[in-house]
Amino acid sequence: MKGSLLYEGKAKKVYHVTDNDNQLVLSYKNDATAFNGKKKDSFEGKGRLNNLITSRVFEYLNQQHIPSHFIEALNETEQLVQKTTIIPLEVVVRNVAAGSLTRRLAIQEKTKLQPPIIELFYKKDELDDPLINDDHAKLLAGVTEHELDQIKIEALKINEVLKGLFLQAGLTLVDFKLEFGRFDDNTIVLADEISPDTCRLWDVETGEKMDKDVFRESIGNLIEVYETILQRLEEKLCTK
């Protein structure tokens, strides 16, 4: 099934599918990067964990009628997805103040944001993925005003679903990054991944950071944290 390598990114390799031009295989790597690639390392088993966590989350989102590119997990490190053309936007939904928001706007960390804040970043590594406004997004990402509205509505819908899922697993969804892509018919759907690499998650009881901030800030064992998240999600999803 897996054909030639199409593209290699920071966290995944993307392969053609030999017998279907409309599908791709995503292969998750063990690499970890932070600060737009300025900090790098590799952790044995990280690719497996991100693939399995993302697969569980996307399966749950599909059950909640959230359309995405995800088809199925193929094995512990790979998943089959529908081919999309990625829109060069990172859509960040913030429920609690953390990270760059606190530094940019001097908002105290842990401040609850109600309603949630949506921020847009231009997906361009050489520019360090700059924060942009709606007009910039329409110009740079090739989206119409209506499509941008659709993307924001879908992001908020996904936020509500994920907040509930992670809360059941004893985790607060602080903020997270989404990417969207287009099918051949121009339909826009959720794409990429949803994992501790792309979400900030704090333990509900202790406030402990349970995401890639463990690596960013060198404050814990990344693999142990990701294993805990997978176990909690599987326990909750298996009981449904």
| Per-residue model confidence (pLDDT) at position 16 | 97
CA dihedral 41, 47, 50, 54 (to 10 degrees): 140
Cα separations (Å) of 90 from 4, 93, 109, 132, 179?
27, 10, 22, 10, 5
CA–CA separation, 54 vs 229, rounded Å? 11
Neighbours of 72 (CB within 10 A): 10
SS3 of 50, please? helix
The model's confidence at residue 44, banded by pLDDT at 50, 70 and 90, is very high
| Per-residue model confidence (pLDDT) at position 150 | 98
| Per-residue model confidence (pLDDT) at position 36 | 75
The model's confidence at residue 127, banded by pLDDT at 50, 70 and 90, is very high
Least confident of 75-79, 156-160, 180-184, 235-239: 235-239
Q: What is the mean pLDDT of residues 108-118?
A: 97
Examine the pLDDT at 238 and tell me if it is beyond 80: no
CB 59 within 8 A of CB 68: no
The model's confidence at residue 240, banded by pLDDT at 50, 70 and 90, is low
Examine the pLDDT at 221 and tell me if it is beyond 90: yes
Share of the chain above pLDDT 70, in %: 99
Examine the pLDDT at 124 and tell me if it is beyond 90: yes
The model's confidence at residue 237, banded by pLDDT at 50, 70 and 90, is confident
List, for residues 52-109, the tens digit of each pLDDT value.
999 999 999 999 999 999 999 999 999 999 999 999 999 999 999 999 999 999 999 9
Can you list the pairs that 134-143 forms with residues at least 24 positions away whose Cβ atoms lie under 8 Å?
Answer: 137/89, 140/88, 141/87, 141/88, 141/89, 142/87, 143/87, 143/89
CA–CA separation, 16 vs 2, rounded Å? 6
| Per-residue model confidence (pLDDT) at position 199 | 98
Q: pTM for this one?
A: 0.95
List, for residues 143-154, the tens digit of each pLDDT value.
999 999 999 999
| Per-residue model confidence (pLDDT) at position 239 | 59
